[in-house]
Amino acid sequence: MATPVLCRWNQAHKSSGTNFQGLPSKIDTLKEEMDEAGNKVEQCKDQLAADMYNFMAKEGEYGQFFVTLLEAQADYHRKALAVLEKALPELRAHQGNVTCVLA
């Protein structure tokens, strides 16, 4: 983000040697933009550090949520297996009694 501003500032600073009027104010404006961009970067760094700290502080809670999810999935799969084990003998018995009608 600061790179384009820095490039424009450097360009304006180099061309200020031609002694055009208004270039010093342009350089000042670009310098302010560069400083603002630097401040935004610092704010983003601070926010990232705070967010990472908050995330790490809740790591145990997130781990417990994950364990709860896995327990619920295991329970679901146990129940699904019980339903399948109950249905399979009935399906096999029914399959043995089926005769081909088209033959």
Same domain, residue pair 4 and 51: yes
Residue 31 has pLDDT above 70, yes or no: yes
- Give per-residue pLDDT as tens, 62-95: 999 999 999 999 999 999 999 999 999 999 888 8
Same domain, residue pair 42 and 53: yes
Same domain, residue pair 52 and 4: yes
Task: State the SS3 of the chain.
Answer: CHHHHHHHHHHHHHHHHHCCCCHHHHHHHHHHHHHHHHHHHHHHHHHHHHHHHHHHHCHHHHHHHHHHHHHHHHHHHHHHHHHHHHHHHHHHHHHHHCCCCCC
**Residue 77, domain extent:** 59-103
Same domain, residue pair 52 and 64: no
Q: Tell me if the pTM is above 0.95.
A: no
Based on the structure, what is the number of domains in the chain? 2
